[in-house]
Chains A and B, each alone.
Chain A
Amino acid sequence: MRKGLINHCRFSIVDLWRGRPGLASRWHLANGRRQGQDALATFKIEILVLCLLALCLPAVAAETGQKLLGDESDGGRAHPIHRLGLLAEPGEKDAEPVKIDPNVDTAEEVLLPFSTRRTCGLCHSYGIINKGWHFNSVDPNAEAGRPGQPWIYVDAKTGTQIPLSYRSWPGTFKPGQFGLSDREFTKIFGRQTPGGGAGETDETVEVMRQYVSGKLEINCLSCHNADPRQDQGGPTGYAVQVSRGNFRWATAASSGLAAVTGSANDMDEMYDPFDPFAVESAQGGKNKPPAITYHKNIFDHDNSVFFNIVREVPSHRCYFCHSNLYIGAEAEETEKWSEDEDIHLKAGLTCVDCHRNGIDHNIARGYSGEENASGNELAAASSCEGCHLGEQSASEPAAGRLSAPVPEHRGIPTVHFERLTCTACHSGPWPADEPHFTKTSMAHRLGTPNVNKAREMLPHIASPVFAKQADGKIAPHKLVWPAFWGVLNGDSVTPIDLGTVTNVIGDMLSKEKFPFSGDWPELTADHIVKGLTALASGGSEEGRAVYISGGRLYSLDDSGQLSEQKDHPAAKPYLWPIGHDVRPAAQALGIRYCTDCHGTEAPFFFGDVNIDTPVVAARESKKMVDFQDISPFYAWAFAFSFVFRPWMKMVVLGSCAVMAFVLLLYGLKALACVVKTLAGEN
């Protein structure tokens, strides 16, 4: 192992100490020509010392705030080459990392998966990176920013569809409130994360289980690996490994450098994945332990591995977690071949051209006003306005970044820019009479094995829903109606933990028919009464048991009768704004005429947003205008006035023509008078 460690460090030292090539060349010289034993011994000692120094560097750098080799670019724009020795996380907490040797005798030593914290963290400050947007959701001090897509836990068998997030987005619940530990949360939703976050927190309850599974470290490769073998959603790829509880092995399994078999979920809590004897014993059993086999041809002569790492993340990597599928009323789907991508991608940009970040991975989300919540210095310049209009206060012209055309918006009254976001007219699918059923990667685990492709598959997300957001502007949103069993305390409702709901409600509804499509079962008032009675009889929860669904709060009154409260604040739908796909100007709302939106039946105001609920009797719809804080009558009357708008234009133009003729006539007469007078006529 020590030999492997030294070999790994040789590369690191050559890189780190590039300013002192004499040292490295001396080592090569000594190693290559096999000079005297004394000289070799001297160099070995030197190198050992330097190796230890290099291994300590990340820790020292983190403590002192010193930058590592890869934390700051030297300005070169070429791709940096990554030929690295693989390092694994040791079994003991403060032990040194283990250098991977594919030829290790597995009877004596367990072949471990490489760790990104150790391998990538040698040159890139892991402790800084894990504060980035994709990894910091569990940090209570991280700015939540504009509401974003939540994780939606669905279980048709208990009538549950609940938005969860570690971030403080109003309308979402913390996984802990729902009885999900960080580990359980990661097992369910970690499939479409780049690791870190909840996957890396220290378990306080399932400590042993976490020892077996390991932590789900940041998977740098999920974004930065340009190798086509990078496997996020394949049958043995990242998503599957996460669901099997193989957190420690997931990155390696996805990298295309190794194959991982077995499942940590199947192992006993006392299983020790670092003990060769335990591993060998488990492999003889029915349930196989997680095991890794590195592809032999990836290692070069000194067991280094080439990683095809790119700074500029390819868009298809983003798509694994950020794809959308819109299903129309006639079941037409926006499959890849039939839909146009975002106009920016078609123009040659990639996702990370706008969504940029530095080493802190504090990626620009790209919404207007983000600069107030983000430390990303490009946040203001990365919004629609930032590129297309430029910052008005900037000392240099900033409009037209990345060849962004400066929009003319001919004929669009400027009030629209005060009341609407850019995305209102330019983003998402063209609004229809009813919002589209929408599937997203994160909600419907698109791109992972055995996805239910039925259009009715839960969760039911509707989009675009034009709603007023916190800054007072109307923007297109995705919408989900929460449905869950909870406890009412005052005006707030806390969800009952998943275990209790599964036991009580799951048992109660077990005889019901559940659609194969993954749609809701058809619940009735009787089901809800039984469910609430069963939950109340448990008596474990403080407060009154309630069921939230379809914007209503169901509870039992003192006489045991079911009462329902419409539009209860706790039952409000959760909405998050749409950013993409952006349509070109020629396909923006209003391009044909004002009635694209200001029509008496235009979906922008009068589209029907279905209230999604398993309770059959409550399946109604709301008008889009109800989400905009606008009087429906006013919206209709204003839209109706556009019927007369052409007439108004004609009348006013005609009147102006008459007045202009009168002015011209008498102006010419006056001029004639002046001319006559100046000519000497009386």
Chain B
Amino acid sequence: MFQTISIVAFLVTICALALNCIISPCKECWRHPLRKLIQLFTLLFIEQKLSPAGVLRKLVYLLALLCFVVLALTGFYPTLVLGEHISGYLVMVHATFAPIFAICLAVLAVMWARNSRFTGNDWPWFQRFVQRVTLIKSTGKETHAQSSSLGQKISFWLIIFLALPLALSIVLSMFPIFGTHWQELLLGIHRYTAVLFSLAAIVHIYLIIRCKTNE
């Protein structure tokens, strides 16, 4: 069941992103694909213009990205590909990278939260709806934010929100608090949350790449 749901969810998300890529391609993507690939690669580097805080933010993001890839591979490969529980060296690698990932997420939550606040500009239609409901007059200025910016913010908050049940479900199961039934429930929460978290993370990464390559 979990295997089927997860595979379908991943396929749908990847197909949707691919479709998005085809329908609204980034600037000069088709004209200079090699240049774009190199640009994509350079996203991994630390830009010189960045402040020390910016450097830290980027380093933490890259580390989180690495951890995410490792955790996703070690977590999903046995369950989705082999159809068995995570075990052996994979579980050790998984458990080693997990706390690092948790720290990275906490740091990113602190450093990115302010920039990821929702503003009225993110949702002009919502702003108009609120104005209609509350009868507040418009200031006359209406700036349109990029849709990818909104997507990034949503996926960011989703990631932070999902990280809590994802981490707590597995850590709490290690304490002698919950019995077998709850252990199974916690494991189920961990697995399904991991799928949602991964989808949110994939969307977030995709939107960041699109945003950066369009700059």
Contacts and interface: CB of A to CB of B under 8 A. Distances in A.
Given A409-B183, A649-B174, A662-B110, A641 B95 contact: yes
B163 interface: yes
B102 interface: yes
B89 interface: yes
Contact of A417 (B96, B103, B106, B180): B180
Interface string A380-411: 00000000000000000000000000011111
Given A659-B160, A666-B113, A414 B134 contact: no
Contact of A651 (B103, B109, B157): B103
A637 interface: yes
B95 A648 contact: yes
A653 interface: yes
A656 B171 CA distance: 10
A648 B95 CA distance: 8
Contacts of B110: 658, 662
Nearest to A638: B92
Contact of B106 (A411, A647, A659, A682): A659
Nearest to B165: A656
Nearest to A630: B88
B187 interface: yes
A674 to B, nearest CB: 9
B85 A415 contact: yes
A652 B167 contact: yes
B117 interface: yes
B168 A656 contact: yes
Given A656-B168, A659-B163, A645 B177 contact: no
A570 to B, nearest CB: 31
Contact of A414 (B89, B175, B184): B184
Main secondary structure of the interface of B (DSSP, over half): helix
A656 B180 contact: no
Contacts of B173: 411, 413
A660 B175 CA distance: 20
Contacts of A641: 92, 95-96
B59 interface: no
Category for how many chain A residues contact B: 35 or more
A651 B95 contact: no
A530 B88 CA distance: 48
A412 interface: yes
Nearest to B178: A410
Best-surrounded residue of A408, A414, A654, A656 (most CB of chain B within 10 A)? A656
Contacts of B98: 648, 652
B125 to A, nearest CB: 15
Interface in B79-120: 85, 87-89, 92, 95-96, 98-99, 102-103, 105-106, 109-110, 113, 117-118
B33 interface: no
Interface in B163-215: 163-164, 167-168, 171, 173-180, 183-184, 187
Interface in A410-436: 410-415, 417-418
Contacts of B88: 634
A377 B177 CA distance: 37
Nearest to B130: A677
Contact of A660 (B87, B157, B164, B176): B164
B167 A655 contact: yes
Interface residues of B, number: 41
B161 interface: yes
A663 B105 contact: no
B136 interface: yes
Interface string B111-143: 001000110000000000010001010010000
A666 B105 CA distance: 16
A654 B109 CA distance: 13
A678 B179 CA distance: 45
Contacts of A539: none
Nearest to B101: A655
Contact of B176 (A410, A655, A663): A410
A410 B102 contact: no
Contact of A656 (B89, B96, B117, B164): B164
Interface in A5-59: none
Contact of A680 (B96, B134, B177, B183): B134
B109 A658 contact: yes
B171 to A, nearest CB: 5
A640 to B, nearest CB: 9
A654 B187 CA distance: 21
A417 B184 CA distance: 12
A653 B171 contact: yes
Given A415-B85, A652-B99, 19 more contacts: A407-B180, A409-B183, A411-B173, A413-B174, A413-B187, A414-B183, A414-B184, A415-B87, A637-B89, A648-B95, A652-B102, A653-B171, A655-B99, A656-B106, A659-B105, A659-B109, A659-B160, A677-B130, A677-B134
23 contacts: A408-B179, A409-B180, A410-B179, A411-B178, A412-B180, A414-B187, A415-B87, A637-B89, A638-B92, A645-B174, A648-B98, A649-B174, A652-B102, A652-B171, A655-B103, A656-B163, A656-B167, A660-B164, A663-B157, A663-B161, A666-B157, A680-B134, A682-B139
Interface of A: 407-415, 417-418, 634, 637-638, 641, 645, 647-649, 651-656, 658-660, 662-663, 665-666, 669-670, 677-678, 680, 682
